[in-house]
Each structure stands twice: as C-alpha cells, then as structure tokens.
Amino acid sequence: MEEVIVAEGLTKVFGSLKAVDEVSFTVRRGEIFGFLGPNGAGKTTTINLLTTLMKPTSGRGLVAGYDIQREPQKVREKIGVLFQDITLDRELTGWENLWVHGLIHGIPRRLLRERIRELLAFVELEEWASHQVKRFSGGMQRRLQIAAALLHRPEVLFLDEPTLGLDPQSRNRIWDYILELRREGVTIFLTTHYMDEAERLCHRTAIIDHGRIIALGTPEELEKSLGSEMVYVKLASNSLQDAARMAEGLKNVEGCRVQMVKPGEISVSTIKASEAIPRIFEKAEGLAVKIREVTYHKPTLEDVFLHLTGRKLRDEEVSGMEAIRIRHRWWR
Amino acid sequence: MVSPASAAYVMWYRQVKRFVRARSRLVGSIFQPIFWMVFLGLGFTSALRGAPVFGGIDYLTFFAPGVVMMAVFFTAFFSGTSIIWDREFGFLKEILVAPASRTATILGRILGDVTIAMLQGVIILALALLMVPSLNLTGFPLVLAAAFFTALQFAALGTILASKLKSFEGFQLVNMLLAMPIFFLSGAFYPVDALPGPAALAAYLNPLVYGVELSRRALTGMGFLPLPTSLTILTASSIRHFLVAVWSFEKTTAE
Ligand SMILES: Nc1ncnc2c1ncn2[C@@H]1O[C@H](COP(=O)(O)OP(=O)(O)OP(=O)(O)O)[C@@H](O)[C@H]1O
Ligand SMILES: [Mg+2]
C-alpha cells in the first residue's frame, strides 16, 4: 500500500528539551493515523515539522512523496491543516476567511465560490457566512476552520486536536465530519488526548509520551497487548498500604497481572475476568482487606497508556469510566 | 501553482477589509492629525507670527504638509507591525503553510498597508486644505508619490521589526523607541536643517524627513533639499526596506 507520510527518526530540540525524539512511522493512503498523548507530549511539534512550519533538528520526513525540508513548497501544495489553536482572522466574516484561504491555496475564483458554498453547508454554517468570526462560538470557529482545511481538497489532512475543549454536541458533529472523510478515503494524521476519539476514528494509533512513540498499532492490537480484560478493584479503605498488600498478594495468583496501585485502588489485567474475580475476593479475604466495588471491562487505550507510562492521560478522567462496556457490582 | 497575483490581491483585500471594519481605528487616525493641526498648528501660528525660521510662511502652512506625512507614517508603520498580532492570533500560520509564494503574500499585505496609509494621507490633506486654503494643489501628484514611498517604507520597516522581535514586550519597547524619534525628528514640527550637528545627522538618517520634505516642497514650494535629491533618497531607501521585508518574511517559521 502506498505510504503518504513517512517519518524517519524525526527529532526536534528546543534548547535542552527534546520535544520530538527520534519519531518514526508511516501513514498509508486512505488511513486515519492517530497520535495519542498527554499535554506536552510533542504532538503539535510533530505536526509543525510535517507541515513545514518548523525545521527538524534531525531526521527525515516525506509527505505525499515530497521531502519536508528540501521541497517544502510541494508539501504545502498537498496538505490541509487544522491547527490546534484558532488561526482564523477574527475581524473577517466566515465567508471572507474562506475566500482568503482559497485564494492563497490557488483555487480559481468561480470554483472557489462554489466550494465555499458546499463547505459552509457541510459544516452547517451557511447562516453565519456573513458574520464576523469573533461573534462565533468556539465550536463554530472550529467547524469553520475544518471547512478551511478541506477547501482546497488536500491529499493529506492534519488535524491537531480537532475536538479539544468542545461541548459533547460539537464534538459529535466533528466526529461525523471526520468519519465522512474516512469513508471518502482522505488520508488523515490526527492528534488527540482523548482515548475514545482515537478508538472511534483511527485505523492505527501511536501512543506518544515525552516526544517518543511508546506503542503503535490498531486500537485492538494495543488493547490486546494488555491481556483481554481489565479488572478494577476499589477497596473499602482509602489506604495505600491495603492496596499495596493486595497487589503483593495477587502477584502469585494465576492469570492476574497488577497494572496499577493507588490508595484504595488497584487494577489487574487478566485473560478471563470471570475466573480472576473469585480469586481476587479469596485473596482479599485471606489478607483481611475489604473490597467495596469491582468492575471489569475490555482494556481501553487509557489502560494501555497507564500500563506503559504509569500515568493517566488526563487526570480528570476517572479510570475511563465512559468506556466501560460491561459493569458488575458486588456489595459485601 | 498558486497565482501570485491572486495571492497578493487577497492579502491586499484582507488588510483593507480589516482597516475599513475597524471603525474606531479609522476615526482615531483621522482625528489625531486634526488635533495636531488645531491645537499645535494654530497655537504656534499665532505665537510665532513673523518668525523668520519658516521662510516667510505661517506656522500652520509649514506644519500641514508634515501632518499629512505623519498620518501616512503612523498608519503604515502600525499596520506593518500588526503582523505580530497575526503571529499572536495564529493567522500567520495559515499563510506560512499555504503554497502561495511568500513574496506575493507579503507584497500584497504591504500594498494593502500602503493603500490605507495613502487613503489616510489624502483625507488629512483634504482637511488641511480647509484650514490652509493657500496650499498649492498642483503639487498633488508629488504628494501622492511621497505618500506612496513613505507608506512603503514604513509598512516594510514595521514588517521587518515584527518578524525580528518575537517577544511582545521587546517589540512594544522598540516600537516606542523608534516611532517617537522618527515622528518628532521628521521635520514636520520644525526645520531640521537648522539643528545642531548630531541631531541634524540623526534627522538625515530619518527616512520620514524626505517624505515630509517632498510634501512641503509640493504644497508650499519650500524646502531645504533639491527635489531630485530627496526623491531619490526616499525611493531608494523605501525600495531597500521593502526588499529586506520580503527577505525576512521568506525566512519566517512558526518558531
Ligand atoms: N516553540 C517552542 N519553543 C520551545 N519549546 C517548545 C516550543 N513548542 C513546543 N515546545 C515544548 O515542546 C514540548 C512539546 O510541545 P507540543 O506542543 O508539541 O506538545 P503537545 O503534545 O502538542 O501538547 P498539547 O496536548 O498541550 O497540545 C512541550 O514541552 C513544549 O513546551
Ligand atoms: Mg498540541
């Protein structure tokens, strides 16, 4: 299959900080490739390098067959970029922004008028065409930016955190647009720090942390790498000591791998949760630790990230509750 | 291939649209020169009546052609430096990642700044005529030429400054330290050829001096340099600044 983006040992150093550290990957034609990582992981910097906005310190990159350093002009002809922050001219109207964008991308005027109409309809902003962008809500600005990125029908689309900070409704809409593009076979490089976004939209995902790719595969592959199910155990007491004793005790229990220990909480990966859970209870009884709640579900990218880094992707998200598919509860 | 003409046009369009839309900026930039003429010009006219320094013309007649160029200068310079806001608000990235030739986009942008600055100059000139009907309007084409090159000069200088200084505080400081001396040492307020040594030297290095000189020459017939000299210096230095602006924009990255 044709490779549309190739990164080989791509590195970007800012002073003493390696923002992107020897990153290598390829994106095939028609694929949605995700970069999943926490704040400061180097996602935006990678996009800046691939879109010719910054020069790599070392390494090589090809986009649509062109070298990002030697043929930046050619690369620019092939790409569309949705930047993480708003890059619209807030004083201009929605229509004027698209007009400017279209002409600096070389779209002939008549065709441009037509495309602007089409895309304003696609992102459902027709009624706002003649309003200044500074009057738009965050979600509307994002949608207008998506329209701009698509206006010149780029061969490769870069989307930097397309739904960051948006309300669930706007988020769903943007997902629909991206899924529509996925059906049309547009090649997309997307960054996100939402698990569910990567799971839902991407064919393959790289997990990036401190500028390095620490895992890469389809969401299923990444999740399988952990074992097939995750069991979360909440203890009645909020003590780290109890959790640590439990973890210690579970070490030699067959089919259980402890992934995380926190005060009052541990998580265990296992092949079969239905068999592991009784053993966990047995152990708890033996150690005189009281269990308040046990949940289990298929591992999510969140679990993968946790497993690989020992940290959660987003602190405010409570153990990927939204991704829990099967949920069981016991009371003692 | 992106047509350079389209790219230049649309950047021009954007600069002009933004200016027209920013009503308060428009109004402010027209009232400020009027205040200068009314409060400073009229005041000195009566205080300095008969003083020989102004070559036999009254102060307001001396001052008005300079005010026209001052208006051109401020509008062009601040419009040029506004590229730093484009960086701050992200719009610059949109341009940097587009396949249009950078030379074409910056040319269009600067010509947009020149357009609004000249428009400004013409409005101020019209208002000046109401106060000083004796201004010689046959010099109008020369005033336009002076306004064009002065605007080009300072839109370019603003662009260069904004692409060199990325920290906003540093930029504001340099902006003040540069704009004020250029303004006061422009020859608009008093004849700079009468200044003592070092100050005269600074004045000769000030590109605004030649615009003011040409404007005054055109509208009153007064001046301290031969017309070809000031015209040559002004065009040469504005084209030079323009080329440096293009060159520095070519090298701009998002860093
Ligand atoms: N221009 C720059 N100069 C210096 N350091 C930078 C620059 N740009 C980014 N960095 C640093 O590089 C690291 C990676 O930043 P980057 O913006 O690529 O992360 P990110 O994964 O996009 O994060 P976020 O989720 O917050 O957008 C961060 O530590 C950041 O502070
Ligand atoms: Mg980012």
Which residues have CB under 6 Å of ligand 1? A 14, 17, 19, 37, 39-45, 84, 193; B 255
When pLDDT is cut at 50, 70 and 90, the band that residue B2 belongs to is: confident
Q: And the tokens for A6?
A: 């190739």
User: What whole-number percentage of chain B has pLDDT above 70?
Assistant: 98
Query: What was the pLDDT predicted at A332?
Result: 26
What average pLDDT does chain B have? 90
User: What whole-number percentage of chain A has pLDDT above 70?
Assistant: 92
**Poorest-confidence range of A82-96, A314-328, B31-45, B179-193?**
A314-328
Query: What was the pLDDT predicted at B123?
Result: 93
**Poorest-confidence range of A288-297, B71-80, B202-211?**
A288-297
Ligand 2 centre and the CA of A164: distance in Å? 10
Give the nearest ligand 1 atom to A48 CA. Answer: 18
ipTM associated with this complex? 0.89
The residue type found at A318 is V
Does residue B80 carry a pLDDT above 80? yes
Query: What was the pLDDT predicted at A331?
Result: 29
Give the nearest ligand 1 atom to A38 CA. Answer: 25
- Euclidean distance between CA atoms B88 and B104, whole angstroms: 22
Residue count (chain A): 332
Give the nearest ligand 1 atom to B254 CA. Answer: 1
Q: What's the pTM value of the predicted model, to 2 decimals? A: 0.83
Report CB contact under 8 Å: A54, B253.
Answer: yes
**Bigger pLDDT: B48 or B159?**
B159
Does residue B242 carry a pLDDT above 70? yes
**Poorest-confidence range of A149-153, B56-60, B108-112?**
B56-60
- Euclidean distance between CA atoms B170 and B178, whole angstroms: 12
When pLDDT is cut at 50, 70 and 90, the band that residue A121 belongs to is: very high
Across the interface, which of A55, A81, A99 has its CB nearest the CB of B253?
Answer: A55
Report CB contact under 8 Å: A100, B99.
Answer: no
Contacts of B97 in chain A (CB under 8 A): 51-53, 76, 79, 81
Q: And the tokens for B100?
A: 């249009």
Q: How far is CA A160 from CA A190, A313, B103, B180, in A?
A: 6, 17, 28, 42
When pLDDT is cut at 50, 70 and 90, the band that residue A313 belongs to is: low
The residue type found at A73 is Q
Determine how many CB atoms are found less than 10 A away from the CB of residue A261.
18
Whether A155 has its CB under 8 Å from any CB of chain B: the answer is: no
- Euclidean distance between CA atoms A163 and A191, whole angstroms: 10
Contacts of A132 in chain B (CB under 8 A): 21
Contacts of B103 in chain A (CB under 8 A): none
User: What whole-number percentage of chain A has pLDDT above 90?
Assistant: 52
Does residue A319 carry a pLDDT above 60? no
What is the crossing angle of helices B59-81 and B140-164, to 10°? 40
- B139-145: average pLDDT: 95
For chain B, the DSSP string reads ---HHHHHHHHHHHHHHHHHH-HHHHHHHHHHHHHIIIIIIHHHHHHTTT-GGGTTS-HHHHHHHHHHHHHHHHHHHHHHHTHHHHHHTSHHHHHHTSSS-HHHHHHHHHHHHHHHHHHHHHHHHHHHHHH-TTS-GGGHHHHHHHHHHHHHHHHHHHHHHHHH--SHHHHHHHHHHHHHHHHHTSSSSS-GGGS-HHHHHHHHH-HHHHHHHHHHHHHHS--SS-HHHHHHHHHHHHHHHHHHHHHHHHT----
Query: What was the pLDDT predicted at A324?
Result: 32
Does residue A195 carry a pLDDT above 90? no
On whether the CB atoms of residues A327 and A295 are closer than 8 A, the answer is yes
Q: How far is CA A100 from CA A321, B106, B114, B190, in A?
A: 44, 14, 19, 44
Task: Give the residue, by CA position, lying nearest to ligand 1 atom 9.
Answer: A45
On whether the CB atoms of residues B238 and B77 are closer than 8 A, the answer is no
Does residue A322 carry a pLDDT above 50? no
Ligand 2 centre and the CA of B37: distance in Å? 51
On whether the CB atoms of residues A255 and A209 are closer than 8 A, the answer is no
- A313-323: average pLDDT: 41
pLDDT tens for each residue of A5-48: 999 999 999 999 999 999 999 999 999 999 998 889 999 999 99
- B7-28: average pLDDT: 89
End-to-end C-alpha distance for chain A, whole angstroms: 55
Residue whose tokens read 């807030």 = A90
Ligand 1 centre and the CA of B67: distance in Å? 47
pLDDT tens for each residue of A133-171: 999 998 899 999 999 999 998 999 999 999 987 888 888
Across the interface, which of B11, B17, B94 has its CB nearest the CB of A87?
Answer: B94
Residue A249 DSSP code: H
pLDDT tens for each residue of A172-192: 988 998 998 889 889 999 999
pLDDT tens for each residue of A251-296: 878 778 888 888 888 888 887 888 888 888 888 888 888 889 888 8
Whether B254 has its CB under 8 Å from any CB of chain A: the answer is: yes
